[in-house]
């Protein structure tokens, strides 16, 4: 595979990971907004738990755990694409 084809492949991977990371960061913001808004409220004893409260915690946690590494990986892919375009790779 030629160096330009490898660079294009790495650049595409970088763009995909960037989009994934940004979408997950948006999910994190919405989840945190809902979770912390509801966390301070007093619940009645015996009242059923709000399923969106639990979903916001789980979704926010997963977005944090997966989103930040996706953004970091995106930067690595873009750096690798720049190396392939510059001829530094073999």
Q: What is the largest CA-CA distance in the chain?
A: 66
The reported pLDDT for the residue numbered 87 is 58
Sequence ranges of the domains in the chain:
3-39+49-85
The reported pLDDT for the residue numbered 89 is 45
Packing angle of the helix pair 51-86, 3-39 (nearest 10 deg): 160
Which band of pLDDT confidence, cut at 50, 70 and 90, is reported for residue 40?
confident
* pLDDT tens-digit series, residues 47-74: 888 899 999 999 999 999 999 999 999 9
**CB within 8 Å of 31: residues ≥ 6 apart:** 56, 57, 59, 60, 63
The reported pLDDT for the residue numbered 90 is 47
């Amino acid at each position: 595979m030629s160096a330009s084809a490898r660079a294009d492949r790495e650049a595409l991977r970088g763009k995909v990971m960037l989009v994934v990371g940004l979408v997950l960061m948006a999910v994190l913001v919405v989840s945190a907004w809902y979770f912390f808004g509801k966390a301070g409220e007093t619940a009645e004893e015996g009242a059923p738990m709000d399923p969106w409260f639990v979903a916001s915690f789980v979704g926010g946690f997963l977005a944090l755990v997966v989103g930040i590494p996706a953004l970091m990986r995106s930067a690595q892919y873009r750096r690798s694409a720049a190396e392939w375009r510059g001829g530094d790779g073999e």
